[in-house]
Each structure stands twice: as C-alpha cells, then as structure tokens.
Amino acid sequence: MTSERDFDRIARAWLAGYPNEAPDRAVAAVLAAIETTPQVRRSWRWPAWRQIHMTPRTFAIVGTLLLAIVIGGSLLLREQSNVAHPSPSPSVVPADVLPSLVGRWAGAPHTVTGIAEGSIVRATVSDSGLWQIGGATIPAGLNSDVAVSGPDRLTLTTIDTKTCQKGDVGTYRFSLSPGKKRLTLTSEREPCAARSIVVSGDWVRNDCTTGSGIAGGDLDCYGDLEPGTYPSREVDLRHEIGNGDTTTFGALTFTVPAGWSHVADNATRFWLMKSDGYAHLNDPDLKDESIYVFGHPQASSQEKGCPSAPQDGVGLTAGAIMAAITSRAAFTATTPRSITINGRSGLWTDLRLDPSWKQSCDFRDDGSPVAPILYANTGLSAVDATARERLVLLDIGHGDTVAIEIFAADPPDWDSYVAEAMRIVESMQFAEPVASN
C-alpha cells in the first residue's frame, strides 16, 4: 500500500473516536479531491510572505484537523445550550431591619389639609409591625401596618378609613443612621397625601428614661445620642410659659460628639448631660456634668430664702444680666468676655461660690451654702460649694436672650470638660421666631 493509502486508514481510525463521525463517502470524496487538485496556494498580498507548497499528504492532515474542529465545536455548543443557568435571586431582607425600626420616634410639625403647624409629631413602631402616629394637628386615621420589602424599602398599609382609604399602600425608602438613632423616610408611591406629608422627613428615636420625677424632666427626650446634629423638641426660647402660641420644634439645633445624652426638652428647659451620668440619673450621689439652656432668663432674686422670682430693676439683655450676677458677693467670677455664636453675640464668665458665702436657700434641706444665679420659667439655677459653672448669655434677636449654663459638680478635670462642652455650645443655632397663625 502507498503512504497515501496508509493515511486513509489512519484518518478513518482517528475520526471513528468521535460520536458524530462523517460518512465514509464524504471522507472518500475529500481524499479523491486531494489527489486531483494542484497543491499550490496563492501568495498573500503581503510581499514578505512566500508561496507555500504542500504535498497531498500534508493537505489531508490539515483538512482532517479542520473537520474535527468543526464537529467538536458543534458538539460543545450543543452541550452548553443544554446547561441550565440559575436565575437572579430575589432581594433578601435582613432579619434585623424591622426590629431596628421598633420604638418611639419624634418628628417635625406639619401642615395637613389646611391645618396650621402645631406641636411635634410622635410615632411608635411596635414589635407587631404597627405604625401609630399622632400630634396636636395630625388628623386621626393614619395608623398603618408596616412591612419591610427590602433593605431600604417599607410599605405602610392603612388600617382604618378616617383619613385614608382602608388598605391604601404607601411605599417609602428609608435610611437609618449608623447608631440607628435617626431615621429618614422618603415617599416613593403614596395614594394617601396626608400620610405622605406626615411621614416623610427626618425622625429621631426617643429613648428617654428621664421621667417627670426629675426636676424639669419629662419623657419626651431623645436619651443617649450618637454623634451628629439634632433639633430641639419643645423648648421655647422666646416666650414665657403659657404665652407662646407658635411652633417651638427646632428652636435650637445642636451638634454633639459621642458620649452625650438628651435629658429634657420642654417649655422650661433644654438639658444635655454626659452619658455616663445619664445612666445613673436617679443616683443621689451623681456628679452632674450638664449643659442647660433657658429662654428669657432673668437675674434671680436676692431675697432671703431664694424665692423663685427675678431680681427687681435688672434689664433683660445679656449685658444687664451678666453685670448683675458677676457683681454679687456670693460668687467668685472671671471678668466677662465677649462671644459670638453663629451670629448671636453675648458674654461669658466662669463662676463659683465664694468660699466666704455662708447663706443657704429654703430648697436646701441641709442648710449648706448655696446661691441662686438665674430665674427662668418659674425655676432657679444655683451653685453650691462643690460646683463650677460657665455662664453664657446671648442676645438672639427680637429682644430675646438665652442663657446657657455649662455645669459640673466637683469636676475632676474642669478644663477638658468645659472645652468639650463649649464645642457643643458653639454649634448651637437659634431659629428665628415663627409667626403665629
């Protein structure tokens, strides 16, 4: 047998290994064509290439290899087309999303269906997924079932017919701050316009544990704070108690670092405290480290027994109040210095009870030395022999004055404490008065 015929046998044996082999007549036709066709390939257009001369045996090998590639490739494509590809998995909702929303929340006042803005809005998300919301000017009938539909999506479904249609489903995007203290809700689809107005916006978690048993305390505070900027809730910096008829939410905006708590926020006072102290608020031996803010302060009375009354004849400006206090024999005070906080000008001083002062006040059961400083909203502020205080008085425009007291009882490191507290004070923004409706 010739070498060409030996190749016929080899090629047939090699092709027999494939599952889809070509028919014998097809292979014979290819071999016959090889024997009768001149094996000279035309040159490429590139001059660097030369003509390639191939023997019939070489050309047969190349042709066989090409045929094998075509057959194998078609089989591979067919097998791949039969492979099942997984479909994208649906969005997975973390199990802790709804529990992170459970609790009491405080929001800003709103105008709904022509009703004027009123007091703060309160909302509660229960463990069972019920959203209850209310406020002085918030219409009834906005309570809804909460369902979390994604890592940053929730739905509210109305459960009654007083304001919305029962079964109305609103879709909202939400975001929580890292410490889960602040919540922002943005309406995406909401058939109930009143609910969209009330729900959309920023909320602060109410973790207040103060209670009314603490003088000036309440249950409307934020409690422990994560670092960030917050609006005040109810403190009225421009009216005496009972004389204000405007919204007081956000009258004060403040920024805190880690380690501070919001203790009270009502018509009489605004109160921040170091968090390690807030955890022991009811401990009689607590060493208080706090920042107090009072609206419309006055120099306290100097009458015996320290009555809750202002001192007669003292003006209401920061300068007049500061001059009256720093001139009293009860205090050792630094020379008042000028200060400007976000456009509001005033004065500050550091004061302590003078060691020679021996008088007490009726509210002091043990009769130990103490002296009042300010009268504000029917209450007094005072220092005793263990306390230190930085008093800041600011004129905030429209004839209104604000008092800020950085207070510490027997502080271990007054300088570092007052420096941190002053950064909070210097962050404070005082809102313009809101016209009554």
Query: What pLDDT is stored for residue 163 in this prediction?
Result: 83
Query: What pLDDT is stored for residue 45 in this prediction?
Result: 29
CA-nearest of 115, 126, 185 to 159 is: 126
Q: What is the mean pLDDT of residues 126-154?
A: 84
What percent of the chain lies above the pLDDT cut of 90? 53
Which of 124-138, 156-170, 195-209, 330-344 is most confident? 330-344
What's the mean per-residue pLDDT of the chain? 80
Confidence category of residue 411, pLDDT binned at 50, 70, 90:
confident
CA-nearest of 83, 89, 39 to 60 is: 39
Structural domains in the chain, CATH included, are 3-81 (no CATH), 97-205 (2.40.128), 208-430 (3.40.1000)
Query: What pLDDT is stored for residue 33 in this prediction?
Result: 43
Residue 90 has pLDDT above 50, yes or no: no
pLDDT tens-digit map of 347-403: 999 999 999 999 999 999 999 999 999 998 778 999 999 999 999 999 999 999 999
- Tokens 């006072």 map to which residue? 269
**Residue 39 has which token pair?**
């094996």
Query: What pLDDT is stored for residue 63 in this prediction?
Result: 54
CA-nearest of 96, 81, 143, 134 to 112 is: 134
CA-nearest of 251, 277, 140, 121 to 199 is: 121
- Write out the H or E segment, with its range, that includes residue 154: strand 153-158
Residue 73 has pLDDT above 60, yes or no: no
Cβ proximity of 348 and 391 under 8 Å? yes
pLDDT tens-digit map of 189-233: 999 988 898 899 999 999 998 887 776 667 779 999 999 999 998
Confidence category of residue 293, pLDDT binned at 50, 70, 90:
very high
Which of 10-24, 126-140, 275-289, 407-421 is most confident? 407-421
